[in-house]
Structures are given as structure tokens and as C-alpha cells.
Structure 1
Amino acid sequence: MFRNFKAYRPLQVARFVKTLFKGNLHIEGIGTFEFDGGKILMPNQGTKKMLLVMSEVNQHIRQLSMMPA
């Protein structure tokens, strides 16, 4: 599954990744990411901004996983 986000909203991206578990996404102005196992993977040609986004989104995913249903 591929999704294009027009704006970077970490919680929205985290919910998408956690729900679909595997696929690709693109965030306008930041870049394209691959995710698997419910986490964003390290980009091959990542910039510092991409690494910060990956870290922030994965942190939100961990927080969502700890919340009771």
C-alpha cells in the first residue's frame, strides 16, 4: 500500500503505519519511507530530516501500542 501525505502530521502517519503494518508512504517536502512490522524502516539515502521523522513516528507508534484499547 502506498500513501501520499500532503503535510507532516506524526500521529496521523503513525496510525497509518500501525494499521497497515507493511508498505510505503511519501510525505511532501520530506521524502519516501518504507515500513514493515508496524515501524518505519531506516531510509537508504536518508537525510537528517528523514531520520528525525522516522524516529518521531516510531516513537508515536510505540506510544499507541501501549495505550489500552
Structure 2
Amino acid sequence: MRIFNNYQPLLIAKHVKTFFKGRLYIRGRGAYLYAKGMLVMPEQADARHRATVQEINRVIGQLNTPQTAA
């Protein structure tokens, strides 16, 4: 289990993408599970938990998309 003391979506997204499956804890936001390189939405999620999962999964999606060089 990885513990993040600060909420940094990019750092958390890189961790989830790299380790693919596991658990993490964000201080002030709670515990999260991730599988297949994405955070898993729990059945009984409150609004803050739901928003965090959606934001981090969006960042993971952006990391997976190839960037075109200008």
C-alpha cells in the first residue's frame, strides 16, 4: 500500500499506471483500490471519493494517449 501525504493527481496517476494493481491511501481523501491500471469506483462512494476517482482516471487516460510533436 502506498501512502500519499498530498493530493497530486499526476503523481498518483503515474503510480497507478506503473504498478497496475494494488491499494493506495491519500491523506484527507481516504483509501482507494486500483486494478488494470485504473482506480476502481467503490459501490458506496461519497461525492469527494467519486470526484477523485474520476479525476485520476482522466489523467491516466491522458498519459495513455500519445502526444503529437508540433
Same fold (TM over 0.5): yes
> Displaced runs of 4+ in structure 1, greater than 3 A?
none
Q: Match of 1:8, SS?
A: coil
- The residue aligned with 1:31 is 30
1:46 is matched with 45
How high is the TM-score relative to the length of structure 1?
0.91
Match of 1:60 in 2: 59
Write the letter of the residue equivalent to 1:64.
L
CA deviations over 1:14-68 (Å, ceiling 9, x no partner): 0000000000000000010000000000123321101000000000000000135
Identity %: 37
Q: Unaligned regions of 5+ residues in structure 1, if any?
A: none
CA distance in 2, matches of 1:67, 1:47: 33
Q: Please give the root-mean-square deviation of Cα atoms over the aligned residues, in Å.
A: 1.0
- Unaligned stretches of 5+ in structure 2? none
